Structure 1
Amino acid sequence: MPLTFELDPPVTPALRDGILRLWADVSNAGGAVGFVPPVAVDDIRPELVKHLVAMAEGRMRLVVGYEEDGTVAATAFVAYNAHRLMRHWVWLYTVMVHPSHQGKGYGRDLMAAAEREVRGLGGIEAIRLACRGGTGVDRFYASCGYKEVGRVPNAIRVADGDDRDDIIMLLPLT
């Protein structure tokens, strides 16, 4: 069953808890979303609060993918640039699809939904994201139309002796 996507759903306790569970499950499955396993919901909560505050202040938007029963199965946060010379593009953060849905096309659906929603914002000419090297996710983003535009070698320290590149990718919308 395909996911249903929504931009800026009301932030309810169910949504908050669903995002926390999703984020923990993705992280513990090895997903590169800011944490390394093992991670608990309480470890993630402060980071989610930062995202929710940015949403409340109008600096960030949220695209959520729901399963038929309303379970949060995917997210992507869209962050506006505060710098006046960079307001023509946005960042995509915390792009996640639940590990149980890997291989079903939901990641591609999420990326398409995020692009569609960003195009609907008006005045945005590109979407930029960063991803952790060594995971293969850069190939996935490339298959969604993103191009690698920068790379910082060994910028992400996953563990002692395990440094990864920070890969910057861009999707022009014009």
Structure 2
Amino acid sequence: MTLTFELDPPVGPALRDGVLALWADVSNAGGSVGFVPPVTPQEIRPALLDHLVGMAKGTTRLLVGRDEGGEVAATAFFRYNDHPLMTHWVWLYTVMVHPRHQGRGYGRELMAAVERAARTAEGFEHVEAVRLTCRGGNGLEAFYARAGYKEVGRVPAAIRVAPGDDRDDVIMLLTLS
């Protein structure tokens, strides 16, 4: 089975709740998506609301992957860069695949869908690169490298997961041109 991807899906309670549940499940399985376990959907809600506000403003776009049952199984949020000298690239945030789907190649599918959207979707015509950051120490750099991203920077010990557990903030870039 593969995922079905949609860019800019209509936002309603089912999508909102699906993304919240995904985000909590990924976080509680140890995923590096801004929280440390244990975390509830209610604790994640303000972060999702920030993304949804950006979507309403037109500064953020959502790519959602649904499984064969139509459930939200993967996400990636694009955010346009508002710095006037950096509008030629976009940020990628909250890249997630549900833990029950991991190991099936869905992460590769998600990153291919991200690249496809950045290269071809309306509104991305000016985009020359996709930039993301990831938490060091979990093998994410290698995953993104396999998807074509190159490490372009690293801030040592910038992310404090817990007392005595600091991780590097790794900056990765996918050049589209």
Q: Gaps (5+ residues) in structure 1? A: none
Q: Distance in 1 between matches of 2:115 and 2:79?
A: 13
Match of 1:10 in 2: 10
Q: Distance in 1 between matches of 2:68 and 2:25?
A: 19
Q: CA deviation at 1:161?
A: 0.4
Say which of 133, 137, 142 aligns to 2:136: 133
Q: TM-score, normalised by structure 1?
A: 0.99
Code of the residue aligned with 2:168 in structure 1: it is D
Helix, strand or coil: the match of 1:103?
coil
Query: CA offsets, 1:76-135, max 9 Å, x none?
Result: 000000011100000100000000111100000000101111112211000000000001
Q: CA deviation at 1:162?
A: 0.3
Code of the residue aligned with 2:22 in structure 1: it is L
Q: 4+ runs of 1 displaced by more than 4 Å?
A: none
Query: Is 1:142 the counterpart of 2:142 in the alignment?
Result: no
Helix, strand or coil: the match of 1:32?
coil
Q: Distance in 1 between matches of 2:30 and 2:137?
A: 11
Code of the residue aligned with 1:77 in structure 2: it is F
Q: Paired residues, what number?
A: 174
Code of the residue aligned with 1:35 in structure 2: it is F
Deviates more, 1:53-62 or 1:116-125: 116-125
Q: TM-score, normalised by structure 2?
A: 0.97
What is the root-mean-square deviation in Å for CA atoms of aligned residues? 0.5
